[in-house]
Amino acid sequence: MATRQPRRTSRTLGERFAVLDPATGEVFEEAPDQQPDELDAVVGRAHDAWRSWRADPDARAAAMLAAADAVEAAGADIAPLLTREQGKPLAESHAEIARTAARLRYFAELDVGPQPIVDGRPVRSEIRWRPLGPVAAIVPWNFPLQLASAKFAPALAAGNTVVLKPSPFTPLATRLLASAISTALPEDVLTIVTGHEPLGARLASHPGIRHVTFTGSIPTGRAVAKSAAASLARVTLELGGNDAAILLEDVDVEQIADRLFWAAFRNCGQVCMAVKRVYVPARRYGDVVEALAQRAKSVVVGAGIDPGTQLGPVNNAPQLARVERYTARALAAGARAAAGGHRLDRPGYFYAPTILADAPPDSPVVTDEQFGPVLPVLPYGSLDEAVDAANGTGFGLGGSVWGTDLDLAEAVADRLECGTAWINHHAELSLAQPFAGIKESGVGVAGGPWGLYGNLRPFVVHRPEEV
Residue positions annotated with a catalytic role: 238
Helix axes 172-182 and 144-157, enclosed angle (nearest 10): 30
User: Which position among 238, 243, 368, 440 is part of the footprint of ligand NAD (CB under 6 A)?
Assistant: 238
Q: Is the CB of 63 or the CB of 272 nearer to ligand NAD?
A: 272
The whole-angstrom separation of Cα 301 and Cα 310 is 6
Q: Which stretch binds ligand NAD (CB under 6 A): 31-39, 70-78, 121-129, 216-224?
A: 216-224
Contacts of 382 (CB under 8 A, 6+ apart): none
- CA–CA gap between residue 6 and residue 16 (Å, rounded): 17
Binding of ligand NAD by 139 (CB under 6 A) = yes
One DSSP character per residue, 142-165 reads: SSHHHHHHHHHHHHHHTT--EEEE
Figure out which of the listed residues 159, 364, 403, 442 binds ligand NAD, where binding follows CB under 6 A.
442
> Contact between 22 and ligand NAD (CB under 6 A)?
no
Applying CB under 6 A, does 159 fall inside the site for ligand NAD?
A: no
User: Which region, judged by CB under 6 A, interacts with ligand NAD, from 125-133, 165-173, 287-295, 347-355?
Assistant: 165-173
Q: Residue with the closest Cβ to ligand NAD?
A: 200
Stretch that binds ligand NAD, among 25-33, 210-218, 277-285, 360-368 (CB under 6 A): 210-218
Is 3 a residue that touches ligand NAD (CB under 6 A)? yes
Q: Where are the beta strands (DSSP E) in 2-149?
A: 12-13, 16-21, 26-32, 115-116, 123-131, 135-138
Radius of gyration of the chain (CA): 23
Q: Which of 223, 253, 333, 443 binds ligand NAD (CB under 6 A)?
A: 223
One of 140, 208, 396, 448 touching ligand NAD (CB under 6 A): 140
Contact 42, 32 (CB under 8 A): no
Sketch the per residue contact string, 42 through 71, with ligand NAD: x for CB under 6 A, - otherwise: ------------------------------
CB 385 within 8 A of CB 361: no
Among 215, 309, 367, 370, which residue interacts with ligand NAD (rule: CB under 6 A)?
215
CA distance 94 to 296: 24
| b/e code 383-415 from CB counts within 10 Å (16+ = b) | beebbebbbebebbbbbbbbbeeeebbeebbeb
- Cβ 118 to ligand NAD, closest distance in Å? 35
Among 45, 60, 165, 206, binds ligand NAD (CB under 6 A): 165
Please state, in angstroms and as integers, the Cα–Cα distance from residue 334 to each residue in 64, 296, 358, 365, 419, following that order.
Answer: 54, 20, 7, 13, 33
CB 66 to ligand NAD: min, Å: 27
Residue 459 class from Cβ within 10 Å (0-12 exposed, 13-18 middle, 19+ buried)?
Answer: exposed
100 binds ligand NAD (CB under 6 A): no
For residue 217, state whether it binds ligand NAD (rule: CB under 6 A): yes
Among the listed residues 168, 208, 444, 451, the single contact to ligand NAD using CB under 6 A: 168
Q: For 459, left (φ over 0), alpha (ψ -120 to 50), or beta?
A: beta
Cα dihedral 107, 110, 111, 117 sign: negative
- Name the residue nearer to ligand NAD (CB basis): 131 or 451: 451
200 binds ligand NAD (CB under 6 A): yes
**Is residue 2 within the footprint of ligand NAD (CB under 6 A)?**
yes
Q: Among residues 50, 141, 262, 380, which is the contact residue for ligand NAD, using CB under 6 A?
A: 141
Per rule CB under 6 A, is residue 265 in the interface with ligand NAD?
no
Among 74, 204, 257, 421, binds ligand NAD (CB under 6 A): 204
Q: Is 201 in the site for ligand NAD (CB under 6 A)?
A: yes
369 is a site residue for ligand NAD (CB under 6 A): yes
Strand 16-21, strand 12-13: pairing: antiparallel
- The backbone torsions φ and ψ at residue 167, rounded to the nearest 5 degrees and listed phi first, read -70, 145
Could you list the residues that contact ligand NAD (CB under 6 A)? 2-3, 5, 138-142, 147, 165, 167-168, 197, 200-201, 204, 215-217, 220, 223-224, 227, 238-241, 272, 369, 371, 397, 437, 442
